[in-house]
Structure 1
């Protein structure tokens, strides 16, 4: 005997007890009562109904006072243990309650799955989720994180957090594993030329075209700075690994790029700044301070290069201990948290100085589109160049993935550090605007990069599965040929006889 779909409302399920005692929150009760008298009044009005009562353990109710009502088919406690049931309804009630329990279990599993999915998304994309939150906090309380504010972020954040980021990167780098990649000179030269020459100069040419429009000139130069900085260390290595690419090639070139970037990026910036269109960027609010290449190199080295080397030395000396600490503290998450703190400080300063007030909404929209276009265009271009079918040139699929991520991705922390080194807290208005293209590009490359990982991983997996499929196909053909040969031999034997 079973309850059909049209019999689901055969019973009315009611709760007797305080709402705070109700632990069966997933079950939908027809009615809820806090005392015996309310239930009795309800029963009298429901003369034609079959009622199942779920009784709270905190209620002291004489069951015999309830079972005298013919409408009550069964009584259960809150653990769904049957206390009473009409003999003629035992089977139906049992099936009905089992269905209710299954519904409760399904609902719990559904809720748990939903919650776990949300937590998984938050854990995976917590940085992107935290970014708008940090911007909102910066907008609401700019005096806390701004330069010269309550926490003196020009020292505690813009230097403290950046030094921490490069120090953690130094601790995380396992350079002993890079021995096999060192001699691949052609790959390294290609990536660095693409990152420091092809991308910056093509973006510079694009920026000169943009200067003929009404777009904010400081934002345009921010795009130039973004294109001139070195690649990221952590994110592009992780993405290369997840896409089944050559992670060691990515790691080596990320390290090499960040070291070279200390010297090349400022040189490119000063070169591009010589254009008369960007003359206004050469002046600062401090008349005694002048933009100087050697000064910038010194600051970049002290805040970026030195912590990186110190972290690497410590990692080489105490590798096992550092690996143990890394598992406990999660260097990557701490690195991202420090970066998020830097962004909060940058936005706090920008909001306090009114940097964003001069930006039109159309400029922001154009900036987003340009950043997306730059990332996608240069990603496709570097893949095409790397896979050109030229003898002694074409790179493998795994190398191509490393080349793409290293050649196109840009380091936000290095960019912020470079801007701080350029203006040394003397022109916060310009610093805020110059940082905006960097921040937007960082979000773009993480978002599009996540999609690229999926596409590139499928590309590699298809390449890996292709030989297996060919072998299976050849084996199948060989099996068919052998069967055909056996049949022919059998026919020949029959003819002889």
Structure 2
């Protein structure tokens, strides 16, 4: 049952949303809090850049077929499925919440959970590290571009502008590059202080969520959507994840990937990053109420963790059974050989 329970970070997210709903920040305080949030986001992406080893990128980039499959799933398959879900608007999904689903479809993959689940299931961990990291790097450019493309095609408003790209580069990419440049000197220290620096990672996301939901609550977020609307988003998230998991799992087999690579494609290709998505939403949709936009992503985050925990354990159990069968078969063949061999 433990695998179905929400993790600590998810509980903190829920508490943050509740706090923003009851005690939203507004007025001059919201402006100062927004400045602090921007600084925290910049620090978050600086640490991402400083953690990422260049050797990992170079060594993992050699497996180009696997990385191409994951990138096409993340930035190709997901957006197409998101557009298809436009058929649910407005009879099933409100337009604002569908915008959030469409936004999560163009986000990069997660890093930590993709690697963790790949490791548990017995997949290609070095390739997972490279693919998940590359997905986040490409996402700084592709996500705003895809937002502009999909939102203009679907007529949902918003979209790409050079101002948005400039903000992405200044607030997200510039700190990331600075971290990469300093990585040879500070990378090992930062990786060794993971527990100490974790509050920076999670705290910056919680700050963005609190700021976003505060602004949306002031604008009447919870008076706009019903429980049925939230339930519809949960079902849509579950359907989206189930489709991608099936396509990545069986598609990788059809393409002839090994079992280890299949696991990597399944877990890296099906994830969407809350850590990158919330800060990006605050930049791309600046000046808008983004509470409804990040809500589908927050729900998807918990759904993907629960589903992938079960799948990873299934893969691990299957590998254990296969290993046991191999040992038993080897022992049987050895006994037969000893029985027929001359004494």
TM-score by length of 1: 0.63
Q: Are 2:46 and 1:167 aligned?
A: yes
Deviations 1:63-85 (A, max 9, x none): xxxxxxxxxxxxxxxxxxxxxxx
Aligned residue in 1 for 2:60: 181
What is the root-mean-square deviation in Å for CA atoms of aligned residues? Answer: 2.7
When Rg is computed on C-alpha atoms for both structures, the one with the higher figure is: 1
Q: Which residue of 1 aligns with 2:74?
A: 195
8 A contact 2:101–2:297 mirrored in 1? yes
Tell whether the 8 Å contact from 2:49 to 2:177 is kept in structure 1 after alignment: yes
Q: In structure 2, what is the equivalent of residue 273 of structure 1? A: 151
- CA pair 140-336 structure 1, distance change in 2 beyond 3 A: same
**Which of 311, 331, 335 matches 1:452?**
311
> Using the alignment, how far apart are the partners of 2:199 and 2:17 within structure 1?
19
Match in the other structure for 2:167:
299
Secondary structure at 2:256 match in 1: coil
Unaligned residue ranges in structure 2 (runs of 5+): none
Counterpart contact for 2:118–2:128, Cα < 8 Å: yes
**Are residues 416 and 129 of structure 1, via their aligned partners in 2, closer, same or farther at CA, if it must alter by over 3 Å?**
closer
Partner Cα separation in structure 2 for residue 187 and residue 264 of structure 1: 19
In structure 1, the residue matched to 2:250 is: 384
| 1:248-305 residue CA offsets vs partner (Å, 9 max, x unmatched) | 2111112211222122222221122224642xx34xxxxxxxx652111111122222
Alignment map for 1:336-347 (pairs within 5 Å): 336-347=202-213
Structure 2 SS opposite 1:461: helix
Answer whether contact 1:300 1:417 (CA < 8 A) is retained: no
* Partner Cα separation in structure 2 for residue 190 and residue 475 of structure 1: 42
Task: Evaluate the alpha carbon distance shift between residue 449 and residue 342 of structure 1 in structure 2; reply closer, same or farther with a 3 A threshold.
Answer: farther
3-state DSSP of counterpart to 2:193: helix
Query: Take 2:105 and 2:78, find their aligned partners in 1: how far apart are those partners?
Result: 6
SS at match of 1:228: coil
SS where residue 142 of structure 1 aligns?
coil
- Determine the C-alpha separation between the residues in 2 that align with 1:353 and 1:243: 44
How many pairs are equivalent? 343
SS in 2 for 1:469: helix
Q: Does residue 228 of structure 2 align to residue 228 of structure 1?
A: no
The structure where strand makes up a greater share of residues is: 1
- In the other structure, the counterpart of 1:474 is 333
Does residue 131 (structure 1) correspond to residue 13 (structure 2)? The answer is yes
Structure 1 residue 178: Cα displacement: 4.1
Counterpart mapping for 1:281-320 below 5 A: 281-282=157-158, 292-320=160-188
Deviation, structure 1 residue 226: 0.7
Matched, 1:364 2:230: yes
2:205–2:279 Cα contact (<8 Å) kept: no
Q: CA deviation at 1:367?
A: 0.5
**How does the TM-score come out when normalised to structure 2?**
0.90
What's the secondary structure of 1:260's corresponding residue? helix
Question: Which stretch has the larger CA shift, 299-308 or 183-192?
Answer: 299-308
Q: Structure 1 or 2: larger helix share?
A: 2
Cα deviation, residue 312, structure 1: 2.5
Q: Deviations over 1:356-389 (max 9, x none)?
A: 311122111010011111112211210100011x
- Kindly indicate whether the alpha-carbon contact (under 8 Å) linking 1:242 and 1:457 is maintained by their aligned counterparts in 2: yes
1:26-105 alignment runs, 5 A limit = none
What runs of 5+ residues in structure 1 fail to find an aligned partner?
Answer: 1-117, 283-290, 487-497
Rounded to whole Å, the distance in 1 between the matches of 2:307 and 2:178 is 33
2:292 corresponds to: 433
| Cα distance in 1 for residues equivalent to 2:34 and 2:260 | 41
For 2:191 and 2:284, how far apart are their aligned partners in 1? 36
Deviation string 1:437-481 (CA, Å, 9 cap, x unpaired) is: 111111211222222221222233334444333312211322333
Task: Give 1:423 deviation, angstroms.
Answer: 2.9
1:215 aligned counterpart, secondary structure: coil
